[in-house]
Amino acid sequence: MAESKDKKPYAEEYAINPGDFSAIGEASTKFKATLAMLGVPSDVVRRASIVAYEAEMNVLIHGGGGKIQLVVYPGSIELTASDKGPGIPDVQKAMQEGYSTATDDIRELGFGAGMGLPNIKRNSDAMSLETEVGEGTVLTAIINFTR
Amino acid sequence: MNLTEVARILRAEVIWGDEFLDSVDVTHAYGADLMSDVLAFARPGTLLITGLTNIQIVRTAQMLDLPAVLFVRGKKPQDSAVALSKEVRLPMLVSPMSMFEACGLLFQNGIHPCTVPVREG
Ligand SMILES: Nc1ncnc2c1ncn2[C@@H]1O[C@H](COP(=O)(O)OP(=O)(O)OP(=O)(O)O)[C@@H](O)[C@H]1O
Ligand SMILES: [Mg+2]
């Protein structure tokens, strides 16, 4: 990857509009193209794509829309997804595989396996979930180029 | 096994992508009807078998660089899904078989499963 020490990190951000289900994955698709263009290693692109896509789905489905940002540093990627939705009352529970509050309608569309947050955790090197009931949720994930 | 062979075994109709069938080779397959399930377990080069027909299934495949999608139970993908799959050159097949039968036949013919880690508890 071409870079210089004094260069500002590359950043890209998209709004995730409430209710626009057919657009889920658009931002992640753009991130994936950007990362490939920047010459980021393909396994890193793959992990970042999974994290971004899961985060995007959660912002729209559970958070009622928000935004997602990609920042590319010389040796790592930072993804931040934020919303002003209902927040997560029990983060520990939400992190468990299979735990989902998705309705049957949502499940029919293919979301709600309760695997999103565990997938994000597995594919990132660091992850934080700041959330407050009634205020919203900010998820940050770091993916290092070398694990 | 290439996609031409997959289509023959599963009596699948090709929605689009005829020209790629001979050259796309699959060794593994993963069957699921939930997006995150696919994102968790499908390894690169996996044939995605699903009953989901919306545009997100194409984005899911694209995110993982999966080579093709096979729809079971005769379910045709939605128009928006077909349009996007053409854009990203992801061939689509539809088999009249159930998920179980389609997976069983591919397994019998030497296609490998994706590894699912053993869970605790
Ligand atoms: N941004 C958010 N705002 C509010 N609640 C959330 C948010 N993200 C996750 N949650 C809660 O955490 C639960 C688990 O999330 P996770 O992504 O693991 O599974 P899911 O979204 O329900 O299903 P999947 O991701 O497999 O499609 C959700 O069902 C929801 O209750
Ligand atoms: Mg989720």
Among A32, A115, A122, whose Cβ lies nearest the Cβ of B37? A115
Establish whether residue A138 lines the binding site of ligand 1, counting it when its CB lies within 6 angstroms of any ligand atom: no
Kindly state the tokens that stand for A47.
Answer: 């992990």
**Per-residue pLDDT, A5:** 58
Can you state the angle between helices A42-61 and A116-123, rounded to 10 degrees? Answer: 150
What is the rounded average pLDDT for all residues in chain A? 94
Q: What is the largest CA-CA distance in chain A?
A: 50
**Whether the Cβ atoms of residue A136 and residue A117 lie closer than 8 Å to each other:** no
Q: Give the residue among B22, B41, B24 at the shortest CA–CA distance from B32.
A: B41
Tell me the mean pLDDT in the region A13-40: 96
Digit-coded pLDDT (tens) for A75-114: 999 999 999 999 999 999 999 999 999 999 999 999 999 9
Asked if the Cβ–Cβ distance from B63 to A50 is below 8 Å, we say yes
Flag if A119 and B57 touch (Cβ within 8 Å).
Answer: no
A76 in contact with ligand 1, CB cutoff 6 A: no
| Beta strands B112-113 and B28-31, pairing class | parallel
Say which ligand is closest to the CA of A63: 1
Confidence of residue A147 (pLDDT cuts 50, 70, 90): confident
> What confidence score (pLDDT) does residue B109 get?
98
Q: Average pLDDT of A36-40?
A: 96
| pLDDT value for B116 | 87
Taking the whole predicted model, whether its pTM rises above 0.80 is answered as: yes
Which residues in A lie closer than 8 A to residue B62 (C-beta atoms)?
25, 29, 32
- Residue corresponding to tokens 């290092």: A144
Residues of B in contact with A29 (CB under 8 A): 59, 62-63
A66 pocket-lining for ligand 1 (C-beta < 6 Å): no
Starting from the edge strand earliest in sequence, which strands make up the sheet with A66-72, in order?
Answer: A10-16, A66-72, A76-83, A136-144, A126-132
Which chain B residue lies closest to A44 (C-alpha atoms)? B64
Nearest CA to ligand 1 atom 8: A58
The verdict on a CB contact (< 8 Å) between B64 and A49 is yes
**What confidence score (pLDDT) does residue A3 get?**
52
**Closest among A94, A97, A63, A93 to A80, alpha carbons compared:** A63
Reported in sequence order, the residue ranges of B1-121 that DSSP labels E, i.e. its strands, are 13-16, 28-31, 46-50, 68-71, 92-94, 112-113
CA of B20 to the centre of ligand 1 (A): 37
Confidence band for B118, pLDDT divided at 50, 70 and 90? confident
> What pLDDT shows up at residue B119?
74
The answer to ipTM > 0.85 is yes
Residues of B within 8 A of A115 (CB-CB) are: 34, 36-37, 39-40
Percent of chain B with pLDDT over 70: 98
Find the radius of gyration of the CA atoms of chain A.
15
A111-129 pLDDT tens trace: 999 999 999 999 999 999 9
> What sign has the CA pseudo-torsion B90, A79, B36, A65?
negative
CATH of segment(s) A9-144:
3.30.565.10
Q: How confident is the model at residue B44 (pLDDT cuts 50, 70, 90)?
A: confident
Identify the band that residue A1 occupies on the pLDDT scale cut at 50, 70 and 90: low
pLDDT in tens, B61-104: 999 999 999 999 999 999 999 999 999 999 999 999 999 999 99
How many contiguous H segments (helices) and E segments (strands) does chain A have?
5, 5
Choose one of A21, A28, A62 to mutate for the ligand 1 pocket test, by most ligand atoms within 8 angstroms of C-beta.
A62
B5/B23 Cα distance (integer angstroms): 11
The full set of domains in chain B, from first to last, is 3-112 (3.40.1390.20)
For ligand 1, say whether the CB of A83 is within 6 Å of any of its atoms. Answer: yes
Q: Nearest CA to A38 among A5, A11, A67, A69?
A: A11
Confidence class for position A4, pLDDT limits 50, 70, 90: low
